[in-house]
Amino acid sequence: MSAPRHADVEIGDRLPELALPLHRDDLVRYAGASGDFNPIHWNERFAREVGLPDVIAHGMLTMAGAARVVTDWTGDPGTVVEYGVRFTRPVVVPDPGGAVLVVTGEVTGKRDDGTVVVTLTATSAGEKVLAQARAVVRLT
């Protein structure tokens, strides 16, 4: 799939859906890479003691996973010039089984400067986990 061109993209265009599986070992690897060893991300007993339903994925891991729908579409992470989200729900990662983060994107703005606005929807277990998820992408 070739990178989209600004001239060919229209408001309302939908990006291919991304289904990103998450398992406990993904959380451990992310903790090692990020340095975030908060036990809510790996210790089920602790997570429940602080009121969570189970171990949850790191917010930044969820945010990065959602951005992949855009970078997969463009083929180049360098095209993303702005990206922001608001966290609404944690992604619960049960063991066994894990979780799936499902992300869709839609072009909701097209600017004369060669950028487009992509609004993202991210869900897990049928619940919206991010709000106001939006990327601004520079296309050729």
Q: What is the pLDDT along the chain (140 residues), one digit of tens a residue?
A: 688 999 999 999 999 999 999 999 999 999 999 999 999 999 999 999 999 999 999 999 999 999 999 999 999 999 999 999 999 999 999 999 999 999 999 999 999 999 999 999 999 999 999 999 999 999 99
Report phi then psi at 78, rounded to 5. -70, -10
Fold of 6-138: Thiol Ester Dehydrase; Chain A (3.10.129)
109, HSE (Cβ side, Cα atoms, 13 Å)? 15
Q: Where are the domains of the chain?
A: 6-138
Cα Rg of the chain, angstroms? 16
